[in-house]
Amino acid sequence: MIYFDKVSKIYSPTSTALEDVSFSVEPKEFVSIVGHSGAGKTTLLKMLLAEDKPSSGKVFFESVNVHEASRDELPRIRRRIGSIFQDFRLLPNKTAYENVAFAMEAADASDEDIENDVPQALELVGLMDKALHFPHELSGGEKQRVAIARAIVNRPDVVLADEPTGNLDPLNTREIVELLKKINKLGTTVMLATHNHDVVNGLERRVITLDKGKVVRDDKKGRYII
């Protein structure tokens, strides 16, 4: 369902983020992308969201090259991809509830669906009691759980998680990873970029290892080896 075809991203002659990266991801897979900081993990995920354009190569979501998607098509693709970021990226002047509801409004969901699904998503991440809190009133782990609720509320086909535990303590890290596993079990493809050994080794799922922008390993039941 996701296919990277010889993707390179060169910011300048001395700075190459991705080099000739090719791989594909099947539906319902749980893929970890690992590597040191600066190995190109974030760039890779940005390519799929079309947040940034590759210097060469193509990125397909199903049969659509996301970098050639039309103005109307791109938002529709993005609604099928839920994103989670290291810095949470919640909207600061919206409550937890509104942050999640917003993703549904963006997808033109009806009021009834929003009133029905947002509490469900918040329930799933265990934050229904903090629904009316603003992000600055939440802890790091809580913010990330709101972000996860936002990412899954539109029932996406894929969830991209870019260092979701990077700013969290071990306890919160474990909770977030458990949530991602749960989401995957419910049938959603998960792509997790991380440099946390314990997280990756605990998953025992497919691991793609990046080093200096190149794919150096791709193991079915991999570990963090580098």
Partner 1 sequence: MRMHLRRVIKEGVINFWRNGWVSLAAILVMVLSLFMIGSLMFSNVLLTSALSRIEDQVDIGVYFKKEATEDEILNAQAALLQLAQVKSASYISEDEALEKFRTRHATNALITQSLEELGENPLQASLNIKAKDPSQYEVIARFLDASAYSALIDKINYFQNQVVIERLSGFLGASRAAGFGITIVFSLIAMLVVFNTIRLAIYTSRDEISVKRLVGATRRHVRTPFLVEGAMYGIISAIITMIIFYPLTLWIGPAGARFFGGPNLFNYYLSNFFEIFFILLAVGVVLGVISSSIATRRYLKI
Q: Which residues bind partner 1 (CB under 8 A)?
A: 49-52, 71-72, 75-81, 83, 89-93, 102-103, 105-108, 110-111, 150, 154
Q: Residue with structure tokens 């390179």?
A: 8
**What's the min distance (Å) between Cβ of 91 and partner 1?**
5
Which of residues 105 and 169 has its CB atom nearest to partner 1 in the complex? 105
Which of residues 98 and 198 has its CB atom nearest to partner 1 in the complex? 98
**What's the min distance (Å) between Cβ of 180 and partner 1?**
18
Name 127's Cβ contacts closer than 8 Å, sequence gap at least 6.
96, 142, 145, 146, 149
**What's the min distance (Å) between Cβ of 71 and partner 1?**
7
The total number of residues written for the chain in this structure: 226
**What's the min distance (Å) between Cβ of 211 and partner 1?**
27
Alpha helices in the chain (DSSP H): 41-49, 73-79, 96-106, 111-124, 140-152, 170-185, 197-203
**What's the min distance (Å) between Cβ of 135 and partner 1?**
11
**What's the min distance (Å) between Cβ of 209 and partner 1?**
26
Which of residues 49 and 128 has its CB atom nearest to partner 1 in the complex? 49
Which phi and psi (to 5°) does residue 106 adopt? -60, -30
Taking alpha carbons only, the member of 44, 48, 138 closest to residue 91 is 138
Which of residues 79 and 130 has its CB atom nearest to partner 1 in the complex? 79
Report CA-CA distances (Å) from 215 to 4, 21, 22, 159.
Answer: 11, 6, 8, 21
Task: Give the burial class of 132: count Cβ atoms within 10 A of its Cβ; 0-12 exposed, 13-18 middle, 19 or more buried.
Answer: exposed
DSSP 68: G
Contact 59, 7 (CB under 8 A): yes
**What's the min distance (Å) between Cβ of 98 and partner 1?**
8
Q: How far apart are CA 56 and CA 65, in angstroms?
A: 13
